[in-house]
Structure formats: structure tokens, C-alpha cells
Amino acid sequence: MLPALYGERIATEAFVEAPEAIARHVTLCAMEDMAYITPPQALGLLIEKTQEIGFSMASEPRTGALLRTLAASKPAGKFLELGTGTGLATAWLLDGMDADSQLISVDTDAAVQQVAQEFLAGDARLTLVTQDGAAFLRNRQPSTFDFVFADAMPGKYEALDDALSVVKRGGFYIVDDMLPQPNWPEGHAAKIPAFIADLKARGTFEICPLTWATGVIVAVKK
């Protein structure tokens, strides 16, 4: 079939076998992408503890892997996470950050944040803040952070202006949970397209919505 389509010049055995090899590789990548990703050391214990306390809003490993990779592009970076939860994304971010970077992670729920405190607070680059995310953002100067992972209502569906304003030029603003999630409250689904449209319409960020993990938007301030 292939030689007939493409002519004798490319009718080598290798070429004829290539589609099968490519298909195999694509399947492998699609199905086993986590096979190429080594999680941070603390992750196993964090997941165990997260399940033990029944925290159901934890981010998933593919989100973490993306965050870690992008974090590595900001040496000596100033990082902000809104919504620590039990510290899963926090662990991935720390794993991608270099020794001169710093991460502030904010959550209102001291009980869940305590898990991050227990397993990650030994890392001097991390500051955990127990505070409302919107209040935290209000007291920040514009262009303070190289990287904002907005994983709580404030910074995403509330106080968006403030969250975008604290990102430096060339800095990342990242959100996940853009694809339907079983734990969404009623009416939440309608907020997603409006949120993405708003982000695009502002024109101040280059945005790339990704069908990856729970649905991620990577945005970079122009």
C-alpha cells in the first residue's frame, strides 16, 4: 500500500514498518506518560496522608509533573501557590525549583495545610501561610511572582485581577481543573468557559489550554 502511494524511492522495509512503530510509540506515550516521570520523594507519604484524612481536592501527578517542569525554567524564582491543600503540587513545585527559588503557599484550612507542614516545611525555600487567598493577594505588590499556581477560588474565580497583577512579565499563571470534575458543585461548570474567555480577552497573557491531567491552562504574562 505505502509503496504504491509513495513510489519505489521510499519503499524500504524500514519505511514500510515505520507507521506501526510510530503507532506503538504514540500509544506508549499516551498510555504511559507517567513512566517517564519520577515523582518527588515526599509524594508517596503525602498521598498516603491525603487519603487518610479524606482530602478529595488533591491535584493529580500529571499536573504536578507539568508544574515541576515549568518551575525549572525560573531559576531564583519567586513562586506562589494559592490553595496548598495537603501539599501535593507544593512538593512538585519544590522539586522543580532551584536552590535560590522561594515558594509561598497559601490556604485557609490549617488542618489540611498541616500535612504539607509535616512533610515539606523542613525545606527552607517554602513558606506556608494560613490566610484567605484574596486577602493575601491584596497585600502584594504588582509583578512580585515569576510563577503563580492558582488552585483555590481566590486567584481564579475571585480576585483574578489581583492574581494576574502579581505575575511578573514573562511569568507563569497556571490553573488546573478546567475539565469536568466529579466534585464540582452545581453551577461550577458554567464558570469555566467564562473564565477562559476572560483570560483570553484581557490580552495581557499568552494562553495555552491543555487537555492534560484535569485540564490545565498555562499562561505567560506579555
Ligand X SMILES: C[S@@+](CC[C@H](N)C(=O)[O-])C[C@H]1O[C@@H](n2cnc3c(N)ncnc32)[C@H](O)[C@@H]1O
Residue 193 and residue 83: Cα distance in Å, rounded?
21
Select the span of 9-17, 106-114, 117-125, 164-172 touching ligand X (CB under 6 A).
106-114
Shortest gap between Cβ of 77 and ligand X (angstroms)? 18
- 112 counts as binding ligand X under rule CB under 6 A: yes
- 114 counts as binding ligand X under rule CB under 6 A: no
- 154 counts as binding ligand X under rule CB under 6 A: yes
Shortest gap between Cβ of 103 and ligand X (angstroms)? 12
Select the span of 51-59, 140-148, 166-174, 190-198 touching ligand X (CB under 6 A).
51-59
The residue within the footprint of ligand X, chosen from 59, 95, 145, 174 (CB under 6 A), is 59
- 109 counts as binding ligand X under rule CB under 6 A: yes
The residue within the footprint of ligand X, chosen from 37, 129, 153, 196 (CB under 6 A), is 153
In the chain, what's the furthest Cα-to-Cα distance? 69
Select the span of 6-14, 52-60, 183-191, 207-215 touching ligand X (CB under 6 A).
52-60
Shortest gap between Cβ of 157 and ligand X (angstroms)? 11
The amino acid occupying position 26 is: V
Which lies closer to ligand X via its Cβ, residue 125 or residue 204?
125
- 120 counts as binding ligand X under rule CB under 6 A: no
- 152 counts as binding ligand X under rule CB under 6 A: yes
**Cell digits of residue 97:** 525549583
Residue 43 and residue 125: Cα distance in Å, rounded?
17
Which lies closer to ligand X via its Cβ, residue 173 or residue 201?
173
- 133 counts as binding ligand X under rule CB under 6 A: yes
Sheet holding 102-107, edge to edge: 126-130, 102-107, 78-82, 145-150, 167-175, 216-221, 205-210
The residue within the footprint of ligand X, chosen from 40, 108, 150, 164 (CB under 6 A), is 108
Binding-site residue total for ligand X (CB under 6 A)? 19
What residues make contact with ligand X under the rule CB under 6 A? Answer: 57-59, 82-83, 85, 88-89, 106-109, 112, 132-133, 151-154
